[in-house]
Amino acid sequence: MKKWMKNNWLYVAGAIAGALAGFFYWQQIGCSTGTCAITSKPLNSTLYFALMGALLFGMFKQEPKKDSLT
């Protein structure tokens, strides 16, 4: 578990930050009519923003350099 967390901490941090942002977005802005697919319910908004946060933070993950023989 420690090794997995060490390798994927950016994804986890992005998911947590996105989930918090999604919940606050739903709470502050949301969808007053209930017809919006993402922002009509707090669970939908939280999960969507968590996924987007994980993907966004994952863009900054650096892969270890490999030695090339060429």
pLDDT tens track for 22-36: 999 999 988 878 788
Cβ partners under 8 Å of residue 15, min gap 6: 50, 51, 53, 54, 57
Identify the CA nearest to 47 among candidates 29, 27, 22, 30: 22
pTM of the model: 0.80
Statement: residue 20 has pLDDT above 70: yes
| More confidently predicted of 37 and 51 | 51
Statement: residue 67 has pLDDT above 80: no
